[in-house]
A and B are shown apart, each in its own frame.
Chain A
């Protein structure tokens, strides 16, 4: 009940803050870059592999992951700035609301916006792939995996960045954290798998994946919980 009222208010509050635009810009950028790539050297790219769809999807994944990491850093910071800008936390948290619910509402908004980005990306991927003539045997399962795995595995990054953005009064630390994340995503092949900013680059396949998914889900939940507890106990200055 309280969460749904909070979410309704949060949707009103993000109006005009550019969050929707940002969420759409990410997937449009990724598909756009792919269009440029194939537009310039389509014949060369198609000659690289027998499975054109798989090659196409593998080319999109790093762009998606990088856009996602950058998007999360900006999105969480913008979300926190809604209150941070005029110190409206003292207005919002003096209302009869649980702080944990307030925190969850911010998390849900962030993850829902990024989910919408993933949906747009998936649609864009399919549509452009079809126009490229990559073959009639469209690998739907792979497309869904490449469209939504990065979002799923980015939950830990969302939790970490949201935590930092919401509890710090100046956004310097949050922006630095975002820069670190983006830099790591640039050099992701050389970074060990446990670094959370690498996770959106990993498409986990096969039977051994469940343990990795469980660990990732556990760490995401832990980061969310720690941020939530910190926010709930913090004095509002």
Chain B
């Protein structure tokens, strides 16, 4: 698949502090890439650099296979964005807000009604934006980003300030974009559950560093469960369980059976009891994704 976003050792420093530290992002065509990290981890700074709003201290950015530094205008014509809290002109109506942008990106005026309908703002089209709720402003921001049918959509915390039904609505809209319009989406969030429901790939950033990058499927595999079994002779139990082709091992004096289906748990217990082992306790230990990322990000919750 074609690579749409590629950064090489992307770094941004403010007064000797690395806000973004050697990030190598790879986003492929048609992906919804979840950019996950606690607040202040460097997500927004990275996004600002991808949009040419900030210059990297070191490192390179390639979008659509071209250097952003050298082909900024050509690249930005194919990018739609919503950075942090939505930006808008409060004294103008929703329609006028979209019109001023449409004139710049060369979108036809009938496209304005289309995107307003897409984010369900058509009824508020001719109201001044200063009277909008945060959720409506956020949806207007998404409409602005979609105006010129961009190939790459960069959304920074797009569900901030939305109510639950609004979050579901926007999530479904974003999910449909790659199939319907062939867009590639980069979406940032500090909420793991949000990314888990929407993304096809994930990058986790903490303290300015990219600490994990893979498909969502592989990420979910990290959240594994294991059966911990406390018995009187664990070493002998391991040997006995080989009979059931179970890959058991000992951890802190306990017998551990990773990824063991329920039927095999029953069989294992039966076998051990049969061989005269005393079993004191059988427990399931499940490491949640939350816990995994908590460990990755050094205790800062996602």
- Seen from chain A, the residues whose Cβ lies within 8 Å of a Cβ on chain B are 5-6, 8-9, 12-13, 15-17, 82, 85-98, 233, 235-237
Contact = CB atoms under 8 A, between A and B. Distances in A.
Contacts of B73: 96-98
A16 B104 CA distance: 21
Contact of B103 (A8, A17, A93, A233): A8
Nearest to A14: B91
Given A9-B100, A94-B76, A98-B73, A87 B87 contact: yes
B8 to A, nearest CB: 20
A79 to B, nearest CB: 13
B52 interface: yes
Contact of A88 (B52, B54, B88, B103): B88
A95 B81 CA distance: 9
Nearest to B52: A94
B120 interface: no
Contact of B104 (A86, A96, A235): A96
Given A95-B104, A235-B54, A90 B88 contact: no
B249 interface: no
Contact of B100 (A12, A89, A93, A94): A12
8 A-B pairs closest in CB distance: A91-B87, A236-B53, A9-B100, A96-B76, A88-B87, A235-B54, A94-B51, A96-B77
Instruction: Give the interface SS of chain A, mostly helix, strand, loop or mixed.
Output: loop
B233 interface: no
Given A94-B51, A94-B76, A236-B54, A86 B100 contact: no
Nearest to B54: A235
Which of A15, A91, A236 is most buried by chain B, counting CB atoms within 10 A of its CB? Answer: A91
B52 A91 contact: no
Contact of A236 (B48, B74, B89): B48
5 contacts: A91-B141, A95-B76, A96-B73, A97-B73, A237-B54
Contacts of B104: 5-6, 9, 95-97
A12 B55 contact: no
A90 B101 CA distance: 13
Nearest to A10: B100
Contact of A86 (B52, B89, B106): B89
A90 B90 contact: no
A190 B93 CA distance: 49
Given A16-B91, A86-B88, A88-B89, A95 B105 contact: yes
B105 A90 contact: no
Nearest to B12: A235
Interface in B80-107: 81, 83-92, 96, 99-101, 103-106
B144 interface: yes
Given A95-B105, A235-B54, A90 B91 contact: no
A15 B74 CA distance: 30
B125 to A, nearest CB: 15
Interface string B99-139: 11101111000000000000000000000000000000000
A88 B88 CA distance: 6
Given A96-B73, A235-B55, A90 B103 contact: no
Contacts of B88: 86, 88, 91
A165 B92 CA distance: 22
Contact of A16 (B74, B92, B101, B141): B92
Contacts of A96: 72-74, 76-77, 104-105
Given A13-B92, A95-B105, A236-B48, 13 more contacts: A9-B104, A13-B89, A82-B89, A87-B85, A88-B88, A88-B89, A89-B87, A90-B53, A91-B87, A92-B87, A93-B53, A94-B79, A235-B48
B196 to A, nearest CB: 28
B174 to A, nearest CB: 18
Contacts of B96: 12, 15
Contacts of B84: 90
Contacts of A17: 91
B100 A13 contact: yes
A123 B55 CA distance: 49
Nearest to A82: B89
Given A5-B103, A235-B55, A94 B81 contact: yes
A233 B141 CA distance: 25
Contacts of A88: 87-89
